[in-house]
Structure 1
């Protein structure tokens, strides 16, 4: 299954979304998470962490660890870090030093349900960041990490560590690990049919004919 990210990168988020519709899966696409640092599509296995308001976090024990660092250490090259920061507090869920650490580790990118800071640093090193908003405000004293590799909620989608994600300019789709091969097979079939439609259009077939016979029945 180590070729799954490569297969995902050959299609796009729309094809994956259509495939999940075709298979009757619940909606697992998060919209509004914008490409902030690059225009690069990313795909990979998910590593998660979740943040809460600092006032709601349990007392820390042991040596202090900055948020996100455990996820980076647990991640393998090609993984995607997915972070939940839905507190409503304007504070970074990801920042510049984390970006550099993830880039050095070979992590594919980050998807953040919440604000990200130091975006210029991510742009400078070409590290893909998808997030809800940007901020200059530090997490220190504002938010705290309470769980790594647990369940997070991104755009209303519940995401588990070990799931798969594909993100591009259209959206971010999360695929349960148990279903990823079925979704990939369906998505590749859809992408192949769309490529054939494009070929027909380039051959000057009428668009009403192409889209009427193929597109409208794509998900059957």
Structure 2
């Protein structure tokens, strides 16, 4: 593994990031053709948080948080710290002291494929975290890794400067080059969902709104009156 810290990588434009903050993970995921989702293994440790920010990425050895310390220095206001490990880990690599340092720098949250601890404190200080595990197991600071290189986070590839969107439904990644497309597509999907929402409130059925009667017919699904008892 290459051991390197890249400084000042290009980041997605702030206006695009702020625009994506308006939408939920599910909306953007569907709008982009169901791409970019990290997957269900990475879950929030709090309820109700929704963030979008630019990725600062870390690749660490499992059970070793040395490179998280190195990454804090590379974080700016509006970033989200994304930590992956070279192999599966559930150790508590991040806690309240890290969160305190990141909040001071304006970092919006953490996504980590390992464990976190000090969860009560993280919730109390309103520092949003999405992790694979909650685990009091401590770590060492002994092995070199990398900062601001592409990393795999669940089912997604995260490059430094990509946009990380996270909420109660999970985490997704929007590549830096696709932010404008994601905003436009999400606006269109949100407008469509509002039209459908209004139709449901009028009592219309999904069978008609989505044109599903023809689908059932093509699949050979028929209707028959139930026989009397």
Same fold (TM over 0.5): yes
Cα 1:85/1:69, change in 2 over 3 Å: same
Larger CA Rg, structure 1 vs 2: 2
Give, in whole Å, the separation in 1 of the partners of 2:29 and 2:183.
11
Give, in whole Å, the separation in 2 of the partners of 1:209 and 1:119.
46
Specify the alignment match of 1:124 in structure 2: 124
Q: Output one character per residue of 1:28-63: Cα deviation in whole Å (capped at 9) or x when no partner.
A: 211221110342111111111111147xx9xxxxxx
Q: Residue 49 of structure 2 is aligned with which of 40, 61, 66? A: 40
Structure 1 unaligned blocks of 5 or more: 58-64
Q: Output one character per residue of 1:58-85: Cα deviation in whole Å (capped at 9) or x when no partner.
A: xxxxxxx943233222222121110002
Q: CA deviation at 1:110?
A: 0.5
Provide the secondary structure at the position in 2 that maps to 1:196: helix
Give, in whole Å, the separation in 2 of the partners of 1:113 and 1:53.
10
1:52-63 mapped onto 2 (5 Å cutoff): 52-53=61-62
Give, in whole Å, the separation in 2 of the partners of 1:123 and 1:177.
29
Give, in whole Å, the separation in 2 of the partners of 1:48 and 1:148.
6
Structure 2 unaligned blocks of 5 or more: 1-12, 216-229
Report if the CA contact (8 A) 1:83-1:113 is conserved.
Answer: yes
- Tell me whether 1:5 sits opposite 2:17 in the alignment: yes
Provide the secondary structure at the position in 1 that maps to 2:94: coil
Provide the secondary structure at the position in 2 that maps to 1:21: coil
1:69-108 mapped onto 2 (5 Å cutoff): 69-108=69-108
Q: CA deviation at 1:199?
A: 1.6
Report if the CA contact (8 A) 1:86-1:114 is conserved.
Answer: no
- TM-score, normalised relative to structure 2: 0.79
Report if the CA contact (8 A) 1:49-1:145 is conserved.
Answer: no
Give, in whole Å, the separation in 2 of the partners of 1:86 and 1:118.
23
Q: CA deviation at 1:14?
A: 1.1
Provide the secondary structure at the position in 2 that maps to 1:137: coil
- TM-score, normalised relative to structure 1: 0.82
Report if the CA contact (8 A) 2:62-2:89 is conserved.
Answer: yes
Specify the alignment match of 1:160 in structure 2: 159
Provide the secondary structure at the position in 2 that maps to 1:153: strand
Cα 1:114/1:8, change in 2 over 3 Å: same
Specify the alignment match of 2:189 in structure 1: 190
Give, in whole Å, the separation in 2 of the partners of 1:100 and 1:38.
20
- Provide runs of 4+ in structure 1 moved above 6 Å: none
Cα 1:155/1:89, change in 2 over 3 Å: closer
Specify the alignment match of 1:60 in structure 2: none
- Tell me whether 1:17 sits opposite 2:53 in the alignment: no
Q: CA deviation at 1:210?
A: 2.4
Give, in whole Å, the separation in 2 of the partners of 1:123 and 1:36.
8
